[in-house]
Structure 1
Amino acid sequence: MASVSSQPQFRYTQPPSKVLHLRNLPWECTEEELIELGKPFGKVVNTKCNVGANRNQAFIEFADLNQAIAMISYYASSSEPAQVRGKTVYLQYSNRQEIVNNKTTADVAGNVLLVTIEGTDARLVSIDVLHLVFSAFGFVHKITTFEKTAGFQALVQFSDTETASSAKNALDGRSIPRYLLPENMGPCTLRITYSAHTDLSVKFQSHRSRDYTNPYLPVAPSAIDASGQLSVGLDGKKLEPESNVLLASIENMQYAVTLDVLHMVFSAFGPVQKIAMFDKNGGLQALIQYPEITRDFSE
């Protein structure tokens, strides 16, 4: 699978913590390098290196909250980014208040995340909102939602462990952005662990389950909107609810279709963030991602 450009960072407001979460570090970054990075702002009392499937994330803990705030504030306003070995390092407050290096219950990383949505209105969080939140980190293959004794939960499948790990590290303990929720809904927090699943089984598209890799799955009656209508395409096929990611099937090719060709064609409708091409069932397909839902494809 090939891709062009990179997608924008997903931004969240996180309460200050003595522990900072660092991303995009050089592979196998050392404790000494982390201490050196934090030393100008205060005393680093603990570190956790080589976190994540790609071993390019870390945590540093300061002795005092104000020292962590000083580091975040400095790089938020500085024209020079934080760097280690020439690589730009991204900083944010961690959702933890201290680093625990002797965790015995660490779950095994995988490509499927188990997401528990906490909050009085958690069950009202739609599958489309979850798709928007997790798509910020890569192409989401499938989502299923369900209610258990633990509360309202979802399984979110990515193509690989690295992408799932990035989403987990960034979203675990965070609240779903308010602008994605109806005005009358209370806050909803995400608690994320890895699932033992590797490939979710989705039999049909519904308000509870989606397979974003297969546009030909039947649509369940529960997917019909409140007006009793079901969106229908020009060819009479039932459609997936609108999304900022399009699935294109290339048929009857008269010339070689490349990433550049697709980018040129689809850029006519707006800025293209990302394109991925792949072979499926002997045919060529592509996923085209825009920054927002576009409505200009009817002609």
Structure 2
Amino acid sequence: QEELTDLVKPFGSINKFIVMRSGKDALLEMGDVEEARSVIKHFSEDQALLRGKEVQVEYSSRQKLSEPENPKVEASRVLLAIIHNPLYQMNVDILHQVFSPHGNIEKIVIFHKAAAVQAFIVFDSDEAAAAAKSALQGRQIFDGCCKLDIKFSIFAFRFLGNYKEPVKMNRDYTNNSLPGDSQSKTSPQASILGAGTAFSTMKQGGFGSVPLSGVLPFGVTGSNDKCTLLVSNLHEVLVYEEKLFNLFSGYGRVLRIKMFENAKQALVQLADGVQAELALNFLKGAPLLGSAMEISFSKHNTIRHPRTRDFTMDPYNRFNSEYVKNCCPPSKILHISNVSDEVEEGDLLNFLAPHGVIQRVKLFESTNRRQALVEFDTIEQATEALASKHRSKLKATSLRIAFSRYHAIR
């Protein structure tokens, strides 16, 4: 609305503004006829543009705009939740986790309309629905996206039975014969709403546990208590403890690593279960030196094997509470920090070139620290470079390398 009104503000005052239901048309009522004529005359000679697209400005057959009367919707146990900017895929488990703390849910139906995801949330009482609406209106399910716009629905519960959506998009919690919802009944610690929720991993008491506050990445429950991962399908010659440390330390504080000779396997113990879950979530299936890593939780919570490498006091154990915000899957672009003032783009290019084809290198400064972005041709090449060169020295400083969340270098 602001962008459209800015187009015509120079020609006079705007009395009313109505966006049509289609979202593609709008009606503006100017202060008087002369102001409306000025708008039409100007844009008949100079094409109106909005976000780079042509906008048609012409007279309406209406002489005056009146505000549409919206039917008053009384409080009911059925909520309509509109999820704006849905960067993550929604399902009934996520919405149940968000809404269930405010009352008993009987049904959830998710559907897509326009550019948003919408859902009907049916509670067992009007009071529970009102409490959920009051607590969640305007909140974001995940940081920076999935903002909730919640209204009481005019649809009665009996009409919602007509929605034939897949199980992930439609669930009746009153029908015990339907697929279970065990995943949706997670503990309060696993709540995915950012504001007002803290994820504490200190309860497991392991050395190096990090209190994580805020939103855990999509797919991470925060309730896992297994600290050790079994990593399989490794190259038996080219992969060793330091490379695994370089890779896994971006997702948690690595305590110990045990390589099994001739078995293409390793055990990686992290400080707590949440960090182990982060590593598994992002690195499972990631390519490393010709093979896709297979990762699962180990039955051993602590590594006690002989000839185990201990990284407990390693100064390059970099994971902290801020890292969880930037956790991302392996990507073609690497973020490099602690770059010496003497290093040029060509130095980085030569330093990392043995690991693959480099598309672009960009040096920059942020918070008075020199950093770089390096884009490889493939994710596998970038993963190899990180595993091989993190904490390696280039012109007197040890580089710190992590996967970048950027999809392109500008």
Q: TM-score range by the shorter chain?
A: 0.3 to 0.5
Q: Which structure would you say has the larger Rg?
A: 2
Structure scoring higher RCO (CA < 8 A, sep ≥ 6) equals 1
Question: Structure 2 length normalisation: TM-score?
Answer: 0.29
